[in-house]
A and B are shown apart, each in its own frame.
Chain A
Amino acid sequence: MDRRNHPLYLAWRRFLRSKPGVFSGLVLALLYLMALFAGFIAPNNMTVQHPSASYQPPQRVYFWREGRLVRPYVYQLRRERDPITFISSYKEDRNQPTPIRFFIAQGEPYRFLGLKTNWHLFGVAQAEGYFFPLGTDQFGRCLFSRILVGSQVSLTVGVIGVLISFALGILLGGISGYYGGWVDTLIQRTTEVLLSIPRLPILMALSTVIPTSWPSTYVYLGIIAVLSFIGWAGLARVVRGQVLALREMEYVTAAVAQGASNLRIILRHLVPNLSSYLIVTATLALPGYIIGESALSFLGLGIKEPMASWGLLLKDAQNFQSLSLYPWLLTPGLLIFVSVLAYNFFGDALRDAADVRSRD
């Protein structure tokens, strides 16, 4: 077969036609690269607290000095407390510029691909001061570094959750709709049981059952598994409804007549017809997982201090004093927004590319 007529090639061509889709793909690639190289890009250790730099605003980077372009530098900030309002304000110490160095080896080593190293993309020499590109949190921890490390959690939590719940939902929903009868009744009643118990009490019960000595990542994976185990039910309902409608179509009847196996009919003939719906639902479900994970920390579940995730970091911004005094704490929210946008536009482009019959 001519390579140019291969369906995948055609789909790729259709995908490339969507400019937002391609752009979103690039953004996603960039985000995942950042997550992968978080330890290298982060200028500071994400868990180290700097008591003298609580709620320090982002440091401004300067490129010019005395009218000349120089190596980028920052000024160190000094904390002062307003005697009346008790607001901590930071003043630049103009006497000593701190140059930003690139590819410096310092600080605590981190692991990358099995290697132990302490090379960082950029930073300032420890002896000369600090550089917090996005400011700090209440404990004086570098927000930029925390966002980077937190992206490892936030960019995977949704994908894993959606994969598990979709695998379960498609399979069980398909079976339910295709076979009907007692199988359908059984699966539908199960979904009703799962759907009718709100998440909050289940999570509250879980929070007491999960051992405290579990490391953060275990708890986190366990919770995702539980969430997606609850999450498949809604999807199964929809898939079932679609399959009910589709199984009477001619091509299904034809496939049955040709002696195709039931599972094959479900997976090869019925599910592809749902692909468009599934892609959209999947991209819509992602933000739910990214944000939902922060709701868990409210119950003491999920990611624990001093680890970080975007949802957890954004929680720090959710009060009036942060909105008006420490607005930089909203940056994790911005990243969630960007990633959700990218996932969805990317999903749109995928949908269009997968749509074989599309003529425009």
Chain B
Amino acid sequence: MNRQLWFAICLLVAGLAWAQPKTLPAYTNLGVSTGKAGGSLTLALASAPQTFFYYGAIDAAIQNLANQMFDGLIEYNLANYQIEPALATRWSISENRIYTFELRRNVRWHDGRPFTADDVVFTYTQIVANPEARGGDAANFEGVRVEKLGDFRVRFTLPKPAPAFIHYMRLPIMPKHKLLPFSQEGGKPRAEINTAWPTNVNPEEVVGTGPFRLRSYTPGQQVTLVKNPNYWKRDAAGNPLPYLDQVQYLIIPDSQARVAQFLAGNLGQINITGAEFPDLKRRETQGGPFRVVQFRALFGSPPHIGFNYNAKNPELARLFSNSEFRRALQFAVNRERIIEDVYNGLAERASYGVAPISEWFYPEVVRLQGRYDLNAANAALDRLGLARGPDGIRRLPSGRPLEFTLTYGSNSAVFSAIATILQNDFQRVGVKVNLQGILAANLLATGRGSDWEAILLALGDQPDPELRTPIWKPGGALYYWHQATQPTTPGGPPQFNNFLPWEREIYDLWERAASTTNFTQRKALYDRWQAIAAREAQVIMIAKEYAVGAVSNRYGNYIYSLGVIPGYNPLVLLFQR
């Protein structure tokens, strides 16, 4: 044996002695047991990665991969979504706006360089707060001062209290020694950071602290990750994690093809939809070598119907901005049937921006949203003076028939089906709906434009309502259904004169919640908001789909993961039997 190798071994032993590993909870309630090291797993990516730099694009593929290659300062508990230490071992909050983090010692980047406070400061100042970084988060870090207080201590000073700020600490930390040449600190224009680690980068360059590191990328076909032998997590029994030696991602754009590859045994695990559940579950009961499991997830996007309060047709705009009208139509939305027939029973009633299992969920919304009742819908529409014409369609005050266009994603089986059911039920209360299918990829853009009347859209739930401020706070960038409230210039104040009275109320609730740090008080404010949203039928929420996954029997310790949420990574616990 040569001297270099001896030296390396000594270093390793010394490193282990000094290491500061995190031992994961036992998670017995999730069915987790001590796994076996070795083996490999093949997963699917729905699209080819656009870059290997997490902050270089908003791209589901790199979000998936980054969860395996990088870590944030904090992460979620896999069972209850409580925040736990990750690269930070502990932290303190003073004056509600000064966050001080103690960093984990002896964590190494994949290339062996030590992880220090410099990397954290670099990541947040040069990348996250960089307004030109395409996947950055500049808006939430405006005025935030990030300082190094020592090699393993970092302080964030906020201009004002922001109770959801801690959630941003899930963002993956990047290696300063690799990315400095692309940064402003390294002498480059700010936009240059986006060119770091393109997909043809040498895999050796892409280093993180995560459980796996990049080994290779074959364009359009697959990404291969290999185990990081020096990872800083341990299982409850003290064994090093991750268990798996290798994770391969096949690029399979079509969901049917993913199911096929899973059934053929080429994929170890897939996420599926409620529509696909019965077929796969039946195959399982007939002896298929896999398990199909359903979970209630914190994330995911429940669809809603948005009405354009500023529709081009002034008569429709008046109706759409009238809560009475939206409530009337809400009575004609048969959520039970949609859950039954579209989701195969694998969905539940939804609230606004927060999942039913979230601690922020206000259970009363289900009652306030009301139930399917065509008589109530008809009565309410009659009260609005919308009498039926001879063809059964109601008439607007001008005498024109009450009809509007409902825009939906034509290439989504779920959206098409919901649209068809809605059209049918609205017709029964004398409201004619013209369906307009567009590519699901263009839905949000269409909604943010002015050329629509009603739309079927799905926006994601987050663990803290604060993270969805742009959607639910009147005047926000994604408060698309009432665009007259939005600022005339980006960054300017909302147009308060166009607010409806209850919108003003919601706005004030959000303002107060944003600077309240006491959980109980915040919860009360957000409960109140959800109650108003439901009462006014701000938008008509439809249903929240359960998360469904299928996993081959070759693997143990399976916990569902959406894959793209930073700070939620159960893959380290998965092992091959």
Contact = CB atoms under 8 A, between A and B. Distances in A.
Interface stretch (B95-103, B340-348, B484-492): B340-348
B341 A305 contact: no
A86 B341 contact: no
Contacts of A301: 437
Most A CB contacts (10 A, CB to CB) among B275, B278, B346 go to B278
A320 B424 contact: no
Contact of A321 (B279, B285, B410): B279
B237 interface: no
Contacts of A318: 256
A47 B432 CA distance: 14
B413 interface: yes
Given A86-B346, A305-B423, A319 B413 contact: yes
A138 interface: yes
Given A297-B437, A306-B424, A213 B405 contact: yes
B282 interface: yes
Interface in B422-452: 423-424, 434-439
B19 to A, nearest CB: 46
A305 B281 contact: no
B420 interface: yes
A207 B407 CA distance: 12
Contacts of A87: 278, 281-282
Interface string B381-410: 000000000000000000000000101001
A89 to B, nearest CB: 10
Interface in A183-220: 204, 207-208, 212-213
Contacts of A319: 256, 275-276, 413
Contacts of B260: 320
A305 B275 contact: no
Contact of B276 (A54, A84, A320): A320
Interface string B307-341: 00000000000000000000000000010010011
A299 B410 contact: yes
Given A297-B410, A306-B423, A85 B282 contact: yes
B421 interface: yes
B457 interface: no
A304 B417 CA distance: 12
Nearest to B405: A212
Most A CB contacts (10 A, CB to CB) among B259, B334, B405, B420 go to B420
Contacts of B436: 212, 300, 304
B277 interface: yes
Interface in A291-337: 297-301, 304-306, 318-321, 324-325
B375 interface: no
B140 interface: no
Most B CB contacts (10 A, CB to CB) among A86, A139, A297, A301 go to A86
A213 B434 contact: yes
B416 interface: yes
Count class of interface residues, chain A:
20 to 34
B44 interface: no
A320 B423 CA distance: 27
B107 interface: no
A81 interface: yes
Given A299-B438, A304-B435, A325-B278, 8 more contacts: A85-B277, A139-B417, A304-B434, A305-B435, A319-B275, A320-B256, A321-B275, A324-B282
A150 B405 CA distance: 23
A181 interface: no
Given A212-B436, A325-B278, A51 B256 contact: no
A82 B439 CA distance: 34
Contacts of B275: 319, 321
Contact of B420 (A82, A86, A139, A297): A139
Contacts of B244: none
Interface in A12-53: 47, 49, 51
Most B CB contacts (10 A, CB to CB) among A51, A54, A301, A306 go to A51
Interface of A: 47, 49, 51, 54, 81-82, 84-87, 138-139, 204, 207-208, 212-213, 297-301, 304-306, 318-321, 324-325
B279 A320 contact: yes
A230 B416 CA distance: 29
A51 B278 contact: no
B171 interface: no
B282 A212 contact: no
A212 B434 contact: yes
Given A305-B419, A320-B260, A325-B278, A300 B434 contact: no
B405 A54 contact: no
A1 to B, nearest CB: 58
A44 B259 CA distance: 35
B411 interface: yes
Contacts of B439: 204, 299-300
B345 A298 contact: no
B435 A84 contact: no
Contact of B285 (A85, A212, A213): A85
Contacts of B345: 81, 86
B420 A305 contact: yes
Given A81-B345, A86-B277, A49 B424 contact: yes
A-B CB proximity, top 5 nearest: A300-B437, A300-B410, A321-B279, A212-B436, A85-B281
Contacts of B435: 304-305
A51 B341 contact: yes
A277 to B, nearest CB: 37
Nearest to B421: A139
7 contacts: A300-B410, A301-B437, A304-B435, A305-B423, A320-B260, A324-B282, A325-B279
A49 B410 contact: no
Contact of B438 (A86, A139, A207, A324): A207
A300 B411 CA distance: 8
A356 B78 CA distance: 80
B421 A49 contact: yes
Contacts of A47: 424
Contact of A299 (B278, B413, B437): B437
Contacts of A138: 341-342, 417
Contacts of B405: 212-213
A47 to B, nearest CB: 8
A324 B416 CA distance: 21
Interface in B276-318: 276-279, 281-282, 285
Contacts of A324: 279, 282
Interface in B232-279: 256, 259-260, 275-279
Contacts of A84: 281, 285
B407 to A, nearest CB: 8
